[in-house]
Amino acid sequence: MAKAFMRRFTTALALAVPLLAGPAQAQAQAQAQAQAPFSVTTTQVEDRKPVFATVESMREVEARTRIAGTLRSLAVREGDAVAPGQLLAEVEDPKLAMQIAALDARLAALAAQRRQALLDHDRTRTLRATGAATQVRLEETQTALDVVEAQAAATRAERAVVEQQQREGQVLAPQAGRVLRVRGTPGAVVMPGEMLFSIATDHYVLRLRLPERHARFLRAGDPVAVGARGLAERADAMLGEGRIRLVYPQLQEGQVVADAEGAGLGDFFVGERVRVTVVADRRTAVVVPADYLLAAPGTDLARLASGALVPVQRGPAREGGVEVLSGLHAGDELVRP
């Protein structure tokens, strides 16, 4: 009995030892990881800069007159949204109406001549069948009828041309968008090609202008944070994320110009200002986890693996920790204080 009891006790003890050792071993591993040194390396960081961007139309088109005449009416005002082909204004040339009236009178006269020529041709054909008229006379009447019909066809074509010119007095919207400017008043005389309307297309962009030193850091596709409308600074009023679609290759007055796209710009005013945060600089920096730094009065400290405490200058928070502006170099080994 005693031997059997000792065997069972020994077996239970052997099973219990790993269970008791498990938590202690995990704790020892956690302590070892906590005491593991951190090797300082450099990484590339991005500095973001808040700037003001203006809402601009990606393209601005003009609606021009096609004929000379008098501006009879305007159908839209500044700020109105227009659809492609929508009537914007009407230009009237009184001479075109007079030309159409003259052509209508000529067509009426040609119609009368055609009726007479057709009667002469039918009479001559009847006489030719009985032998009372010659073949030459029949051909003459046929030719006279053909000439009148050709003159009528040419007059109708001329009338269609004048009607088309009259229809071209309608100034139509070339594209969908919003009317920015209206030039001209009803009753004014306009010439062919004169611009009456300036229309901003529906696709709006945010136009950025930054100092020349930031030109090499702006890239198409970079994300931007679009602020709130009305220059509000509340975080919950942010419009969200956007992206730079184009960086213009030419500097303007010492500034680099770029266009960014973002959602929700369709109802903005052209020229409205919006706060935008962009990547203005890319550089190498030292970033360490925050728990490797010790806050001390007047400065921050970091403990090297050798045990020495070195003063460091804490920078902004970065992904993965805190940027250290001075005091540490690549290759340094840190331990938690």
Domain layout of the chain by residue ranges = 49-58+203-281, 60-93+169-200, 94-167
Across the range 65-88, mean pLDDT stands at 92
Per-residue pLDDT reduced to its tens digit, 279-328: 888 888 999 998 888 887 878 889 898 888 889 988 888 888 898 988 88
The rounded distance, in Å, linking the Cα atoms of 296 and 310 is 11
Report the predicted TM-score, pTM, of the whole model to 2 decimal places.
0.54
Q: CB of 37 within 8 A of CB of 335? A: yes
The rounded distance, in Å, linking the Cα atoms of 92 and 87 is 14
Query: What does the DSSP 8-state code read for residue 250?
Result: S
Minimal CA–CA distance to 44: which of 291, 278, 319?
A: 319
Q: CB of 134 within 8 A of CB of 142? A: no
Across the range 79-98, mean pLDDT stands at 92
- Which range, of 75-79, 121-125, 238-242, 316-320, averages the lowest pLDDT? 238-242
Place of tokens 């935008």: 276
Across the range 68-95, mean pLDDT stands at 92
Given this model, what pLDDT does residue 50 score? 85
Given this model, what pLDDT does residue 132 score? 86
Given this model, what pLDDT does residue 114 score? 94
What the block records as the tokens of 159 is: 């009338």
Given this model, what pLDDT does residue 113 score? 95
- Which range, of 100-104, 110-114, 196-200, 279-283, averages the lowest pLDDT? 279-283
What the block records as the tokens of 13 is: 């003890």
Given this model, what pLDDT does residue 205 score? 86
Given this model, what pLDDT does residue 296 score? 79
Q: What is the dihedral of CA 167, 170, 175, 176, to 10 degrees?
A: -120
Q: CB of 172 within 8 A of CB of 196? A: no
Q: Is the pLDDT of residue 99 over 60?
A: yes
The rounded distance, in Å, linking the Cα atoms of 175 and 156 is 33
Angle between helices 135-167 and 94-130 (to 10 degrees): 160
What the block records as the tokens of 139 is: 């051909």
Q: Is the pLDDT of residue 65 over 90?
A: yes
Count Cβ atoms below 10 Å from residue 196 Cβ, excluding itself. 20
pLDDT band at residue 22 using 50, 70 and 90 as cut-offs: low
Across the range 173-200, mean pLDDT stands at 90
Q: Is the pLDDT of residue 77 over 80?
A: yes
Homologous superfamily assigned to 49-58+203-281: Efflux pump adaptor protein, beta barrel domain (2.40.30.170)
Q: Is the pLDDT of residue 62 over 50?
A: yes
Minimal CA–CA distance to 172: which of 92, 90, 87?
A: 87
Given this model, what pLDDT does residue 266 score? 67
Rg, the chain, Cα only: 44
Minimal CA–CA distance to 262: which of 222, 233, 212?
A: 222
Given this model, what pLDDT does residue 316 score? 87
Phi, psi (degrees; rounded to nearest 5) at 31: -65, -40
Relative to beta strand 273-288, strand 223-226 is antiparallel
pLDDT band at residue 32 using 50, 70 and 90 as cut-offs: very low
Q: Is the pLDDT of residue 237 over 70?
A: no
Place of tokens 């991005």: 46
The rounded distance, in Å, linking the Cα atoms of 45 and 55 is 29
Phi, psi (degrees; rounded to nearest 5) at 127: -65, -35
Type of residue at 17: V
Which run of H or E residues covers position 95? Answer: helix 94-130
What the block records as the tokens of 128 is: 């030719």
Q: Which CATH architecture has domain 60-93+169-200?
A: Beta Barrel (2.40)
The rounded distance, in Å, linking the Cα atoms of 241 and 224 is 6
Across the range 144-150, mean pLDDT stands at 95
Sign, CA torsion 280/284/286/287 = positive
Phi, psi (degrees; rounded to nearest 5) at 314: -80, 135
Phi, psi (degrees; rounded to nearest 5) at 104: -60, -40
Phi, psi (degrees; rounded to nearest 5) at 149: -65, -35
Q: Is the pLDDT of residue 21 over 70?
A: no
The rounded distance, in Å, linking the Cα atoms of 261 and 58 is 10
Q: Give the rounded percent of residues in the chain with a pLDDT score beyond 90.
A: 37
Instruction: Give how far the C-alpha of residue 335 lies from the chain's centroid of Cα atoms, to the nearest Å.
Output: 51
